[in-house]
Structure 1
């Protein structure tokens, strides 16, 4: 971030901060502070009085994921969103002066507090010693040992999962599964160095980071490693496919929603759509590695090595990861005589934006996991 000083020369400030958002006073345009990317993170305001008020708001919601959405100019009232243990997503108006927080809306009003599985962060080391973490959601009811497990890697891959209510994770937890969401290298919760550690690691260390998390949970006695499936969307869908094609002997099944299956095809498609942008080409090569290696880590090219049943789910009108990524994977699995199912969602996008489609996806995914990896 740069500011122009009174003398006219730009001066860099916060050089080491990975800033996600800045806060500006709407009355005069003055910069009030910023929010750093990553978890946990709360706004950093330059005025000590304002920072103290922000801290009081956070203290009112311990052990929950909190996001401040907006506040009044005098910092007397805040609109916040919370989720996490016992909280499926709640909107509050916080009255700082009156020392009260009133709920004004709920993300999932039909989910009772006792039906929200406990959520916690698990830290572990990758095989090469890199420190990382993941989010563990357990079934409601207190069972914490030797559970069947669903690995649920996030999309992006430049994203991360916080200690919060996740509707996918909670759906599986409600059926008796432990759910683990690993923040593998390349995630955005541990700074730029950790994010850059994912460059060129699709199907490689980013993939083994996921299975290293499974091994850690098994070591602690929380899960039964012989009863594991892997589920994900977008990049997470790629990781699900890679878990049963590039890796072996780990998962009883894989569910891939809007997945990348062929890195070469993704690379060439993105370049074509961009008009051959050199900037995009350089960015893709930095993230994915040398194109000559793409076949080595493309599940479509390794379909014959699949060692578990695969469910593919894809929106027909996906403009982020084209539908052909799933149809081509299905064709490769069919040619290799490997067990698979393909669920096609007409008129649906990458994010499964319609509630009916999301329910259809979740019902199909849960049924597939229950069939191939029963909780009981």
Structure 2
């Protein structure tokens, strides 16, 4: 598990400062953030901070006033999150890549949960030693206070004779007693919901092969199916409780783009929340579990909406205290009077703060990135341009600080997903590239989320096609404005962005002078086969998701070859760098191996950097910095910024 430590936690905050040289040290951007998370205890008296020294993580526990209470050195463990369970327990959520003996399929990323007792300083792995069960968790534990004691309700894997099922376990954190709650073992359960009294009240069911979802609720003393629907892109899942703290909340959707936030109370008993709420995330009361409101990105503004006018007024006052900065809610106390926020400043970068609504003051908890000075932050501005077919594309342009925005070298940095999006605020990768003297373009190409269903749908069947030319249309617009030198443009990206980099070299030639792909797909048929393998040979929602954007009928569709860069290596006329984590479970390492082999066979220039022990998310400080250092050196060599 994790190593306890009582030495000076302050040592973890000694990260490299900006270099005295003209260009800041890349480590400022590439190392792990100094603070990765901050969570306040239910009574608002204590804080749990996930901190790093740039490479290794630790959990620091302290009072609100700053007195150190203890800590856990996670070292290279991928500590993902922490959850308070009462005042004396903290649940640490970590993940690791593993290939489990006896289970079919490739290596997967598994979550584990460890209870740290602040009183005894002991750690206990949840679900340890359970008969016919794994010691991994499938989601964050649901913490409920039962008779004044914290109880964790945990979704885990329990094995029946022929298969494993998602089963709910009840773990008493006081003594570690664990009990499996059997409410009918089903192989299609994908999530559970437990009410404030500690009673399981709902299950989300999903048939991956049929793409069929259902909601099962406890009505009286029995369980009944209260709704079901086709959901080919994945389960609708459960989103907590509704406005009364009792109804079950589901975010419904369909292929027509209709998104409905629905509160279920029983068979035929439901209410839809107004569509004009337009929420992308939800907020629940930490005490009653009732839905309070939510948040969304409207244009370039992060907007919070509360149903209760008094709560809305309170939040507005919190945001106003940091006027001009982007403020997001991270954690709050049980009574919601102590609030941890992340404040993203365009000139100072992101930092955590604690707002005391009773004392009407705010205290800084620390900067997210150590050594980040105002001189190391380049300005970012929103942009809009027209694609070749007239569709309006938005995005963000980071300009190198101190340089005249004329005839600049450019790096196109497309996001992953592809149904993700870039957002305003500090981005370590684009800032690192801008610090070297490059302008950086982050386009929200067609298919990106957050711009309405029609915009997402415009990306269907456009993988490697219009989704790709949306990027180069942005280059042409910047060239037309005189901001960018058309002869000095490279493309760099990760995941789908990595694919876009390879497609820029094979499907959209003549635009870029170099390309860097980090964990990018190259052989789409092979990638889809690996997705099917991970789903034990069955058609999965993930596979249907990819196929919809690729515009293919199935794995054997010959059209996949026409948009697979590994099959088009002979077209490459620019140098390519491939970077890939050996433990990637999302886009397998063999995707970059296939691309490298194809390029070498075609006699094309390629550099291949392997990140040993790294996953898809660049979770390790050393390999994340290695990725950035290698990528920057490559683009500086082939597209000098000066």
> What's the TM-score, normalizing by structure 2?
0.56
Which stretch has the larger CA shift, 157-166 or 247-256? Answer: 157-166
CA contact (8 A) 1:64 1:163 kept: no
Deviation at 1:120, TM superposition (A): 1.2
1:327 to 593, 618, 624: 593
After superposition, where does 1:249-260 map in structure 2 within 5 Å?
A: 249-260=510-521
Closer/same/farther in 2, CA of residues 220 and 185 from structure 1, 3 Å limit: same
Report the counterpart of residue 548 of structure 2 in structure 1.
Answer: 286
1:120 to 381, 387, 393: 381
C-alpha distance after superposition, 1:108-166 (max 9, x if no partner): 12011122001111111211111221111111225322211100001111211111111
Closer/same/farther in 2, CA of residues 274 and 5 from structure 1, 3 Å limit: closer
CA contact (8 A) 2:302 2:326 kept: no
CA contact (8 A) 1:50 1:75 kept: no
Report the counterpart of residue 372 of structure 1 in structure 2.
Answer: 638
The answer to whether 1:40 aligns with 2:301 is yes
2:621 to 355, 362, 366: 355
Report the counterpart of residue 108 of structure 2 in structure 1.
Answer: none
Structure-2 separation of matches of 1:356 and 1:279? 34
CA contact (8 A) 2:460 2:551 kept: yes
Structure-1 separation of matches of 2:527 and 2:329? 36
After superposition, where does 1:73-84 map in structure 2 within 5 Å?
A: 73-84=334-345
Gaps of 5+ in 1: none
The answer to whether 1:161 aligns with 2:161 is no
Which stretch has the larger CA shift, 50-59 or 278-287? Answer: 278-287
Structure-2 separation of matches of 1:72 and 1:149? 45
CA contact (8 A) 1:150 1:229 kept: yes
1:236 to 485, 488, 497: 497
Structure-2 separation of matches of 1:63 and 1:289? 42
Which stretch has the larger CA shift, 86-95 or 329-338? Answer: 86-95
Closer/same/farther in 2, CA of residues 17 and 127 from structure 1, 3 Å limit: farther
CA RMSD of aligned residues (A): 2.1
Closer/same/farther in 2, CA of residues 73 and 143 from structure 1, 3 Å limit: farther
Which stretch has the larger CA shift, 213-222 or 365-374? Answer: 213-222
Which stretch has the larger CA shift, 33-42 or 355-364? Answer: 33-42
Report the counterpart of residue 289 of structure 2 in structure 1.
Answer: 29
CA contact (8 A) 2:326 2:425 kept: yes
1:226 to 487, 503, 517: 487
After superposition, where does 1:1-376 map in structure 2 within 5 Å?
A: 1-4=261-264, 9-15=269-275, 19-36=279-296, 39-96=300-357, 99-275=360-536, 276-277=538-539, 279-290=541-552, 291-376=557-642
> What's the TM-score, normalizing by structure 1?
0.94
Structure-1 separation of matches of 2:498 and 2:266? 51
Which stretch has the larger CA shift, 169-178 or 132-141? Answer: 132-141
Structure-2 separation of matches of 1:53 and 1:119? 29
Structure having the higher Rg: 2
Structure-2 separation of matches of 1:18 and 1:259? 32
Gaps of 5+ in 2: 1-260
Deviation at 1:27, TM superposition (A): 2.2
CA contact (8 A) 1:84 1:163 kept: no
CA contact (8 A) 2:286 2:333 kept: no
Structure-1 separation of matches of 2:267 and 2:417? 42
C-alpha distance after superposition, 1:292-329 (max 9, x if no partner): 31111111111110121000011112111111100110
Q: For this pair of structures, how many residues does the alignment match?
A: 376
